[in-house]
Amino acid sequence: MPKKQLTAYQRKVIQRYYQNRDAIDSQRLAELVTDLYLATTAKRRMQLWARARKLLERIPDMDEAFLDRLEKDNDLETLAGIAEARFLGE
């Protein structure tokens, strides 16, 4: 079966996605902060923290130990600060 080739339009869409990935991740992180604040069950909070961690791991200067502590302590204020700084481009 021959491999499907992408059209020029599809290649441009993919290229723009990766060019804007930082902004997309920042938006997702800000939305996760809101979802974490509104989460009512421990299971849901665990799922949301796992998603937030994946986004934070993409940030080059994030320390693994810091992420562990942030997730363990459920430190929503610090996460919100990181999300705000990323969203504002600081």
Q: pTM for the whole thing?
A: 0.79
Domain assignments of the chain as residue spans, ordered by start: 8-88
- The pLDDT confidence band at residue 1, using thresholds 50, 70 and 90, is low
pLDDT digits (tens, 9 = 90+) for 41-68: 999 999 999 999 999 998 888 888 999 8
Percent of the chain with pLDDT over 70: 97
Nearest to 60 by CA among 32, 9, 25, 35: 25
Top-confidence residue, 35 or 3: 35
Cβ–Cβ under 8 Å, residues 25 and 58: yes
